Structure 1
Amino acid sequence: MKDFNVGIIQLPATGDKEKNLKTMEEYISCAKNKGADVICLPEMWNCPYQNSYFTKFAEEDFGKTYKKMSEVARKNEVYLIGGSIPIKSGEKIYNRSYVFDKEGKEIYRYSKINLFDIEGYKESDTISGGKSLGVFETEYGIFGLAICFDLRFPELFQSFRNYGAEVIFVPSTFMKKTGEVHFHLLNRARAVDTQCYIVSPAIARDAKLSKNAYAHSLCVSPSGEIIADLGEEKNLAIVKLENEKVKREREKLPLEVSRKNRKL
């Protein structure tokens, strides 16, 4: 891994898709001007996190939002982890994230595996789960990519570590009820588990369609230290991620050596 600056974007998802696209473009330009090399958006940043909007806002693969993200990545010469957006594929809709390189070319995609099905709400009423998991490589290192509810499944994050990841991105939309008790806890736990940086951009809270969002986008160090917490409102942060911190944490606590040596 090479040292680089990550831009963390926290936006509210309004009921006006055009406005969401414009705000995204403005914030990415701002993050680039502040020195970001890699930028990550939240989960469902172009679409309010409600089943009815998933159906209403869903686009075909390579649609309008996809093209805008590709254009913005190319124009700003940054790697863009595009949070996630609702994507139609036949009769199904997926909660999907796309990754673009500095030329605006797609280099990776991930459809959320673990859907947010809890007491009182089921994401699976409209969204279908993805089936594959992996990592992607950039000039700065190997990165993992999960989405929101995936944070509750540590075995996924161990897979990222096994694949060589040193930074894991987790675009999210935690609700206030679950976020207040679990969002910081889960992000810190996954960082300590994997000895990776965890970068979790979240939807901002507003007084309208995003009023139940917990927000608090996070960047957590490989040792579990919270480096950045973006609060509740629309915001962005630029954080330097350092190779030495990953290296030293893994030297101090050689977890993989213990895994190889243990006998059960």
Structure 2
Amino acid sequence: MRVALCQMTASDEPQDNLAQVRETVRRAAGEGARLAVFPEAAMVRFGGPLAPVAEPLDGPWADGVRAVAEETGVTVVAGMFTPASGGRVANTLLATGPGVEDSYDKIHLYDAFGFRESDTVAAGERVVTVQVDGVGVGLATCYDLRFPELFRAHADAGAELTVLPASWGAGPGKVDQWDLLVRARAVDAALWVAAVGQAPPDPEADLRQPTKAPTGVGRSTLVAPDGTVRARLGSAPQLLVQDVDVSEAARVRRAVAVLDNRRL
């Protein structure tokens, strides 16, 4: 399967971000992609109030993503915010395309490094996988990366690939942690991981310095089931289209049966 890692810098204007998504999906389709993955918070970046801009899954922003997915025949996964109870929002991934219509609400909220996502965001509860051209694809978001159980749940549900949209926070050691964890989750569950990050607003920024909100470090990465990095971007917005041999997941699982050998 041909997968597009769509690294972008979202603004605080949803319609401008939707225009970026449309243009990038069309470019990805032109390169033969069947799955286009955008970052967490592609609808609107972190750093401002989320409830006023949140929209339901049948709202205009999601419908705009559906329209370009239908136009191009590409399945699109993109991060948005949907209304939740108590004035909060859900940190939602929309997955839409030919034969695909689902969503995932981020289960593990980023209450770490001085940021409290749970103050404004309600946690999801449902593990979600979808089928794209017959390939099982798990959905995860950013801080989920620190929880291997979710990736193993994807594998147990038949996924050969997990996509991980993110808006990773900058700070001391954070880029190293991102690189390590993306590879570790691929090895934990013997599946491909396509981790797609927000590019930081300033591509020349020192990513060792923390920011007020997690606005991204870039470093979108495609990792094979054996943990090898097959492609990685820097900190600037960029489109990367790569082929994924999903049969590698089965080969790695036969060689190193970490899923079958679990005792706990």
Q: Provide TM-score, normalisation by structure 2.
A: 0.90
- Post-superposition CA distance 1:69-91 (Å, at most 9, x none): 10010001111112x11111353
Aligned to 1:31: 28
* Root-mean-square deviation over aligned CA pairs: 2.0
CA contact (8 A) 2:141 2:166 kept: yes
Match for residue 78 of structure 1 among 71, 74, 78? 74
Please give the alpha-carbon distance, in whole angstroms, between the structure 2 residues aligned to 1:72 and 1:243: 26
Amino acid at match of 1:228: A
1:36-115 map, 5 Å: 36-50=33-47, 52-82=48-78, 84-90=79-85, 91-102=87-98, 107-115=101-109
Amino acid at match of 1:240: D
SS of equivalent to 1:255:
coil
- Post-superposition CA distance 1:10-41 (Å, at most 9, x none): 11011222221111111110011011011111
SS of equivalent to 1:46:
coil
Please give the alpha-carbon distance, in whole angstroms, between the structure 2 residues aligned to 1:101 and 1:229: 25
SS of equivalent to 1:62:
coil
> Which structure: greater helix fraction?
1
SS of equivalent to 1:72:
helix
Amino acid at match of 2:83: K
1:158 partnered with 2:155 = no
CA positional deviation for 1:156: 1.2
Please give the alpha-carbon distance, in whole angstroms, between the structure 1 residues aligned to 2:143 and 2:244: 24
- Post-superposition CA distance 1:180-213 (Å, at most 9, x none): 1311111100000111000111111223999952
Match for residue 216 of structure 2 among 183, 195, 213? 213
CA positional deviation for 1:106: 5.1
Please give the alpha-carbon distance, in whole angstroms, between the structure 2 residues aligned to 1:191 and 1:94: 26
1:171 partnered with 2:165 = yes
Q: Provide TM-score, normalisation by structure 1.
A: 0.90
Aligned to 1:185: 180
Amino acid at match of 2:240: A
- Post-superposition CA distance 1:207-234 (Å, at most 9, x none): 3999952111111000111111111011
Aligned to 2:206: none
Match for residue 197 of structure 1 among 183, 192, 198? 192
SS of equivalent to 1:99:
strand
1:138 partnered with 2:135 = no
Unaligned runs of 5+ in 2: 204-210
Unaligned runs of 5+ in 1: none
- Post-superposition CA distance 1:137-171 (Å, at most 9, x none): 23231111111100111111111111111100110
CA contact (8 A) 1:12 1:206 kept: yes
SS of equivalent to 2:158:
coil
1:106–1:88: structure 2 CA closer, same or farther, 3 Å change rule? farther
Aligned to 2:122: 128
Please give the alpha-carbon distance, in whole angstroms, between the structure 1 residues aligned to 2:185 and 2:55: 32
- Post-superposition CA distance 1:97-131 (Å, at most 9, x none): 111122xx652211001110114211111111111
CA contact (8 A) 1:61 1:88 kept: no
Match for residue 5 of structure 1 among 2, 5, 8? 2
The alignment of Structure 1 onto Structure 2 pairs a total of residues equal to 254
